[in-house]
Amino acid sequence: MFTNADTTVTPAGADAPLQAILSRFQAHQATRLVGPTRADRVQARYGFRVGNLGLLVAPLTGLEVVANKPIAPLPRSPEWLRGMMNLRGNPVPVFDLVRALDINATSPANDASVLVLEAGSRALGIAIEGFPQPLRNLTRTGMPTELPRRLEPYVQATWLDTDAIWVEFDHRAFFLSLSGRRTDPAS
């Protein structure tokens, strides 16, 4: 038996002492929970920078940032192909978009992070500095006049977020084109 100044509880399971314990809790005012606002429901898109070019990750594309993974160079590969890395048993090609797009910027350092798009056998990596950033206030805008020539056929739309332009592109078709496979950007 447990005795308190206010209540006596017996282990026999008597209802009266249990009611006494439960009655000690104050009933709280009902709080109305407000559902998420429209701004909360808008799912963030993610963008990353390559030099001064902002690239937007396609909606519903899996992505992760991987750091400190060794990248094995491939002999006689183009300079924009950093090599391959092992990600959970899957070989992932890692690209240097500064070189692939011939942008006037410095390529990410060899120990830069890798942005991995997709997963499994469809995964591909892009050497990046920093992290992708969430973008919630995108407004569709007209195409910029200057885009890297190699990227132009794969641009689907351009978006404005505050004062930065973000280019949405078909990353699958773009990277297939780098590999020399014929692709139709509209497919």
For the cut 50, the answer to whether the pLDDT of residue 21 exceeds it is yes
Q: What is the pLDDT of residues 132-183, one digit of tens each?
A: 999 988 999 888 778 999 999 999 999 999 878 999 999 999 999 987 755 5
Q: Is residue 122 a contact partner of residue 134, using CB atoms and an 8 Å limit?
A: no
CATH number of 45-178: 2.40.50.180
Give the residue from 146, 118, 114 showing the smallest Cα distance to 129: 114
Task: Determine the average pLDDT of the residues in 106-110.
Answer: 82
The domain spans of the chain are: 45-178
| Dihedral (CA of 62, 184, 138, 112) sign | positive
Please state, in angstroms and as integers, the Cα–Cα distance from residue 92 to each residue in 46, 69, 88, 124, 139, following that order.
Answer: 21, 11, 10, 5, 33
Q: What is the pTM of this model?
A: 0.71
